[in-house]
Amino acid sequence: MQTIVRLADYRPSDYLIDRVELDVRLHPTETRVTATLALRPNPAGEAGAPLVLDGDELTLLAVALDGQPTGPGAIEVTPRALTLHQPPQRPFVLEIETQVNPSANTKLMGLYRSNGVYCTQCEADGFRRITYFLDRPDVMAVYTTRIEADRDEAPVLLGNGNPVEQGEAGPGRHYAIWHDPHPKPAYLFAVVGGRLGRVGSRFTTMEGREVEIAVYVEPGKEGRANFALDAVARSMAWDERTFGRAYDLDVFNVVAVSDFNMGAMENKGLNIFNDKYVLASPDTATDADYANIEAIIAHEYFHNWSGNRVTCRDWFQLCLKEGLTVFRDQEFSSDERSRPVHRIAEVRTLRARQFPEDAGPLAHPVRPQAYREINNFYTATVYEKGAEIVRMLRTLLGPEVFRRGMDRYFSTCDGTAATVEDFLAAFAAESGRDLDAFARWYAQAGTPTVAVAGAYDAGRRTYTLSFRQSLPVIATEAAAAAEPRPLVIPVALGLVAPGGGPAAGRSERVSDGVFVLEAPEDSLVFTDVEAAPVPSLFRGFSAPVKVDHALTRDERLTLLAHDGDAFNRWQAAQSLAMEVLVARATAGAPLAAEAGPEGDALGRALATFLDGEALADPAFAALVLTLPGEQEVAQAIGADVDPDAIWRARQTLRVQLGRNLGARLLGLRDALAQPPGAPFSPDAASAGRRALRNAALDLVAAADPEGGTALAVAQLEDAVTMTDRLAALAPLSLVPGEAREAALARFGETYRDEPLVLDKWFALQAMIPEAGTLERVRGLMRHPAFSLGNPNRVRSLVASFSLNNPTQFHRPDGAGYDLTAEVVLALDGKNPQVAARLLTAFNTWRMVEDGRRQRAAEALRRVAGTPGLSPDVSDIAGRSLA
Ligand code: PHE
Ligand code: ZN
């Protein structure tokens, strides 16, 4: 097993690299790389120490020191390192020639080929798979890259920075030289070579720089790249407007590749994307795809400042760039779309992915204290909870001080490899506040619970809110086993009068609508309160906590109807639904029990809500109609979970709501129908109308499978967008029978040459909550379009089953666990990163009831006990079982 790396052991590098000249001669199996490194001893390092360069699966061809071949014994080469025993204690130049085989690179780290296109992925430690290097983010160099290739095979040659020159390089060969003036760590290095189509535009920065923007895609798909291209320009304008950050090179290139381990990568001036997050047309992409593309384009672009200009000192600081950049992309999407709707989407993701992570065996602080395999720490906790911490900082300091803090951070840390402490110091300096207690958010794992109780004193006309924070004790390898200390929790709140409207009442401890809970327990007294109010707490989800607050049904209905905070109106509906779901799931209600007064009460409240405002904000209404997911219900139950009971509870409530609201929902569908021939727009308003129509279809079809099937079949026929087509196929996929099989077969046939659309088709089938799904998934793994080598295919088919089909992954007979374990092992030899991520499906294994728990443990142990596991998979298996 990989050795453990600890934050506490950080030491600066003994040597620094100021300049790198790379000459990359691309060849399908024998790519040669000559690296000329200008090194010097680091004054902050240990004088006279050996120089140890990282390497991984490299063939070393030659080494020269200051122009001379190194003598015998001067260097030592092992599979993972090249050591120079007595480096000069003055600046020196090392020239290293290596050879790699991009076609054999199935890990998709380092230099590889995707559909014939040469591309690289270096974060976190892939550069060492290209040449020997000090592959750590605090070693920053200026790079000049010469790329050479067959002109036929790779007419397009792209590198970091600005293009310098290009020309012939012998018969059939050509080259391009790129220079990046901004010092950067090796993880931001990239080259691309291939046959690619291009769309381009220009952007003039606020500093007057003319930037050429381009998006490169598979030839023939240029038309699908325009939305991404436009999103780049909008991102550039937004970052100038919002944070005063301008782009700093003459070109900005985005390349879409079809084999990619993650979403996308922020290489300096040359972002490389999973093509799923670039390519969009109404016929092939859903509204959710458009929203994701826009958000990820923005995310990678924003990294140019939060990540590239200011980078991370070490990988423990990953949240410094990721949490901050997620916060920035969330703000972008909120500004470009609808803020409350986007906030709800963010919180749903956090609760569905980060809360379970924080509650399971893989829990870790936003800044972990130790890791074995850094690739396993690109998690919802680092990204999503990391973003929530930045958001809390803004809530605590207010938008103006926050912005000044950001300015200070960018200017003081520009060109450096920084830490979380550096980030917080900028805000402490601007605000004059001590942020040491706040910093605990970075160090303590687990989701805090805040218990709240309210009491009205009619005689004194006071209303008292008492708060108590409780923090889980988490002792995992990645977290220090110390007793947790109280957190600084911003509670955005307000009081709602029983009949609606804001209630009177004041408290000195609430400023700008925010109360800061710092002590383990505290209480807040409002004076001059005329009648018992309904408190609206954690407005806008002001802190990533669970709230334990016993409101009555009527109080929740008041919030749903009248709260001035849209997030909490949605939350009220979710809480009402959650209470019904948890009660039904834990009472073991049979499938037929689709009645019940609480469900009817929810139905009536939703009816009033829909009548009043569904058409005013359809996107919001669609979210209010969507019940909490199975995963969220499981979290709320917490232990001895029976996934089948949860599914049944959710199903009975869908049926009940569909019956109670049926006529209204059909009316809304008609009112929201797109007039024939109206032009398609992916904008938020149009997407919102589609979302509400389709949320209505979902409930109608649950209540009336026959009528719903007819409706869905008709929608499938008429649909002009992928959103509507898929939303029709989804309810169809839930009703066993011929209509379903015919619709699925036809869809599969129609899109057989569109891998990204087939991914949706794979996913839909993998998520069918029926016992037959396991065999269906096995069958689809033999589909000609499926390949274990392509991460998108694995995610859409297998990960959809393992992570998004709780009843079937958690089959009582353990067959879902077995299938997952089998695929993890089959994949591990090819692509350990993707295998490890699939294995995180077992994250919830301790929560399920005993029989399933035993079977999950057996499957996990089988994985853990397999000889020759990758460090990635062995790390996840080990921590999951610990
Ligand atoms: N840094 C990428 C991001 O923007 C994620 C990533 C990590 C991509 C590692 C590839 C490899 O979030
Ligand atoms: Zn990122």
Q: What pLDDT, in 10s, does the model give residues 114-131?
A: 999 999 999 999 999 999
**Measured from the CB, is residue 262 less than 6 Å from ligand 1?**
yes
Q: Is the CB of 265 under 6 A from ligand 1?
A: yes
For 623-648, how does the pLDDT look when each residue is reduced to its tens digit (9 = 90+)? 999 999 999 999 999 999 999 999 99
Ligand nearest to the CA of 379: 1
CA of 263 to the centre of ligand 1 (A): 7
d(CA 252, CA 236): 10
pLDDT digits (tens, 9 = 90+) for 535-558: 999 999 999 999 999 999 999 999
Span 564-610, pLDDT tens digits: 999 999 999 999 999 999 999 998 656 555 578 999 999 999 999 99
56 in ligand 1 pocket by Cβ < 6 Å?
no
Which pLDDT score is estimated for 789? Answer: 98
Does the beta carbon of 384 sit less than 6 angstroms from any atom of ligand 1?
Answer: no
**416: exposed, middle or buried (C-beta count within 10 Å: 0-12, 13-18, 19+)?**
middle
Could you give the CA distance from residue 276 to residue 292 in angstroms, rounded to a whole number?
A: 9
Is the pLDDT at 318 greater than 80? The verdict is yes
Which of 119, 257, 277, 378 to mutate for ligand 1's pocket (most ligand atoms within 8 Å of CB)?
378
Token pair 């050591």 is found at 83
As a whole number of angstroms, the distance between CA 417 and CA 566 comes to 39
Place 481 in a pLDDT band, splitting at 50, 70 and 90.
Answer: low
Q: What percent of the chain has pLDDT over 70?
A: 99
Q: Which residue among 125, 187, 265, 330 has the greatest number of ligand 1 atoms within 8 angstroms of its CB, and so is best to mutate?
A: 265
| Under 8 Å between Cβ of 324 and 430 | no
Listed in sequence order, the residues at least 6 apart from 721 whose beta carbon sits closer than 8 Å to its beta carbon are: 282, 283, 286, 287, 680, 690
pTM of the model: 0.98
Nearest protein CA to atom 8 of ligand 1, as residue: 265
394 lines ligand 1 (CB under 6 A): no
CA 571 to centroid of ligand 2, rounded, Å: 28
Least confident range of 414-428, 447-461, 492-506, 713-727: 492-506
Of all protein residues, the one whose alpha carbon is nearest to atom 11 of ligand 1 is 123
Q: Is the CB of 215 under 6 A from ligand 1?
A: no
Residues with a known catalytic role: 300
Banded pLDDT at 188 (limits 50, 70, 90):
very high
Pairing of strands 534-536, 494-496: antiparallel
390-395 mean pLDDT: 98
157, 545, 497: which is closest to 351 by C-alpha? 545
Q: 698 C-alpha to center of ligand 2: Å?
A: 34
**752, two tokens:** 């057989």
| Nearest ligand, CA 378 | 1
Evaluate: CB of 358 within 6 angstroms of ligand 1: no
- Do the Cβ atoms of 451 and 348 come closer than 8 Å? no
Q: Which atom of ligand 1 is nearest to the CA of 296?
A: 4
Pick from 123, 292, 303, 321 the residue to mutate for probing ligand 1's pocket: most ligand atoms within 8 Å of its CB: 123
Q: Is the pLDDT of residue 341 over 70?
A: yes
**Mean pLDDT for the stretch of residues 671-676:** 93
Cβ(316) – ligand 1 distance below 6 Å: no
What is the number of other CB atoms lying within 10 angstroms of the CB of residue 800? 21
| Residue 72 pLDDT class (50, 70, 90 cuts) | confident
Is 378 near ligand 1, meaning CB less than 6 Å away? Answer: yes
Ligand 1 near 831 CB (within 6 A):
no
Q: Looking at ligand 1, which residue's alpha carbon is closest to its atom 7?
A: 123
Lookup: tokens for 759: 């991914």
623 CA from centroid of ligand 1 (Å): 29
Cα(205)–Cα(305) distance, integer angstroms: 14
Q: Which atom of ligand 1 is nearest to the CA of 124?
A: 9
Q: State the closest ligand 1 atom to the C-alpha of 299, by its place in the atom list counted from 1.
A: 4
Is the beta carbon of 266 within 6 A of some atom in ligand 1? yes
Tokens of 188: 């931001």
Question: How many percent of the chain have pLDDT more than 90?
Answer: 96
Specify the pLDDT at position 594.
59
What is the whole-number distance in angstroms between the Cα of residue 318 and the centre of ligand 1? 10
**Least confident segment among 14-23, 394-403, 582-591, 802-811:** 582-591
pLDDT bin (cut points 50, 70, 90) of residue 374 is: very high
302 CA to middle of ligand 2, Å?
Answer: 9
What is the reported pLDDT for 502? 87
Which residue's entry shows tokens 């970052």?
A: 239
Among 114, 260, 266, 329, say which to mutate for ligand 1: greatest number of ligand atoms within 8 Å of CB.
Answer: 266
311/302 Cα distance (integer angstroms): 12
Average pLDDT over residues 168-187: 98
C-beta 329 within 6 A of ligand 1: no
| 396 pLDDT more than 90 | yes
Q: Take atom 5 of ligand 1 and give the residue whose Cα is closest.
A: 265
Q: Furthest-apart CA pair in the chain: how many Å?
A: 95
| H-assigned helices in 273-419 | 287-302, 318-336, 339-349, 355-359, 380, 386-397, 399-413
Query: Which band of pLDDT confidence, cut at 50, 70 and 90, is reported for residue 477?
Result: confident
Output the residue whose Cα is nearest ligand 1's atom 3. 265
Q: How confident is the model at residue 479 (pLDDT cuts 50, 70, 90)?
A: confident
Ligand 1 pocket check: which of 260, 261, 262 to mutate, most ligand atoms within 8 Å of Cβ?
262
Compute the distance between CA of residue 539 and CA of residue 208 in angstroms, rounded to an integer: 41
Q: What confidence tier does 419 reach under pLDDT thresholds 50, 70, 90?
A: very high
Return the pLDDT at 475: 86
- Rounded mean pLDDT of the chain? 97
| pLDDT range class, residue 1, cuts 50, 70, 90 | low
Distance 325 CA to ligand 2 centre (A): 6
pLDDT of residue 327: 99
C-alpha 265 to ligand 2 mean position (Å): 7
Ligand nearest to the backbone CA of 328: 2
Give the Å distance between the CA of 383 and the centre of ligand 2: 8
Q: Is the CB of 121 under 6 A from ligand 1?
A: yes
- Atom number in ligand 1 closest to CA 383: 12
Ligand 1 neighbourhood includes 259 CB (under 6 angstroms) = no
Calculate mean pLDDT across residues 733-762: 98
d(CA 349, CA 380): 9
CA of 790 to the centre of ligand 2 (A): 21
3-state secondary structure of 268: coil
CA distance 736 to 732: 8
Model confidence over 257-297: pLDDT tens digits?
999 999 999 999 999 999 999 999 999 999 999 999 999 99
